[in-house]
Amino acid sequence: GESVGLHLPTLSVQEGDNSIINCAYSNSASDYFIWYKQESGKGPQFIIDIRSNMDKRQGQRVTVLLNKTVKHLSLQIAATQPGDSAVYFCAENIAGSGGSNYKLTFGKGTLLTVNP
Amino acid sequence: GAGVSQSPRYKVAKRGQDVALRCDPISGHVSLFWYQQALGQGPEFLTYFQNEAQLDKSGLPSDRFFAERPEGSVSTLKIQRTQQEDSAVYLCASSPRDRLLSPPPKTQYFGPGTRLLVL
């Protein structure tokens, strides 16, 4: 299943399935993107990042895809586990903006629920 | 190892009351950020400190919001005359990098947040 972060903020999958979480970012000048995981009662935790000169980056069980043409970002989680249940946020940044390169702009988020 | 800590974890305030939220960043981290996260939303940038200097406060929603980091470590976010719309989770993050170094901002480590409810 798929979820668009802004319009379909929930995604429910079975344990062991692959999950795809989508995000439409807003600023065409953004050149650095991060996915965060936020569990209930905790702060956001870094998952994976990607720069705009790449269209794909893989981590452990996670893959981020970037389509700059349509300003779309996705997070793929392989073999989803109950511990993956959380809200997932994409964040964008203009890394080359000199003095303001610290600013992150977060999307609304998608709630992922993994059923055992 | 100690991460970013925030206190209190929960705060209930009556409308009009002043509140102070504390952030203890990771020791030695140069940069400190405050974010506001409304229910069901992503965090929104409030302000940024590099050591004790507040370099950016463009995200503070009104002059009722004030942040300080006088000794370049612990920071306090103060909200005066709280309003119901101030109800949110306030997140603090710290980073070992200063703004002039190459990112990535992934090195922002977040605390657990303070959940503020204004009645």
Q: Taking CB atoms and an 8 Å cutoff, what residues of chain A touch B60?
A: none
Place of tokens 């379909």: A8
Residue type, B87: S
Q: Taking CB atoms and an 8 Å cutoff, what residues of chain B touch A45?
A: 110
Ranges assigned E (strand) in A19-78 = 19-24, 32-38, 45-51, 56-58, 62-67, 72-77
**How far A22 CA lies from chain B's nearest CA (Å)?**
15
Which pair of tokens denotes residue B29? Answer: 């981290």
The rounded percent of chain B whose pLDDT value lies above 90 is 79
pLDDT, residue A3, reads: 34
DSSP state of B86: G
pLDDT, residue A4, reads: 32
Number of Cα atoms under 13 Å in the Cβ half of residue A67: 9
A32:B42 CB<8 A: no
**Torsional class of B16: left (φ above 0), alpha (ψ -120 to 50), beta (otherwise):** left
Q: Tell how strand A86-93 and strand B88-95 pair up.
A: unpaired
Q: What is the pLDDT of residues B61-99, one digit of tens each?
A: 999 999 999 999 999 999 999 999 999 999 999 988 765
